[in-house]
Amino acid sequence: MKVRMLTAISGVDGAAARGELWTCTAAEGKRLIAAGLAEPAGKATRTQTAAQAPVETATDD
């Protein structure tokens, strides 16, 4: 099973950074997904967007 990591993980089998694909057994994949550490590889990744602050302009008062 392949999962996309949502957080960094390391262990005796290696290490994976956030966003990397990780190959694991089905049981391990289900545990990682249930714990919120990974998502199924075919699923679209979460996107984060930042709100833009309004642009300040100089005024003559």
Report pLDDT for 6. Answer: 94
For residue 59, being part of any structural domain is answered with no
Give, in order, the Cα–Cα distances in Å from 59 to each of 3, 52, 56.
Answer: 53, 21, 9
For residue 10, being part of any structural domain is answered with yes
Per residue in 6-49, pLDDT (tens digit) is 999 888 878 899 999 988 899 999 999 999 999 999 865 556 66
Report pLDDT for 57. Answer: 83
pTM for this entry? 0.63
Report pLDDT for 13. Answer: 77
- Comparison of pLDDT for 18 and 59, the residue scoring more: 18
For residue 47, being part of any structural domain is answered with no
Report pLDDT for 60. Answer: 79
Among 9, 4, 15, smallest CA distance to 45 is for: 4
Can you list the alpha helix ranges (DSSP code H) found in 1-61?
26-34
For residue 58, being part of any structural domain is answered with no
Domain count, the chain: 1
Range of the domain at 26: 2-40
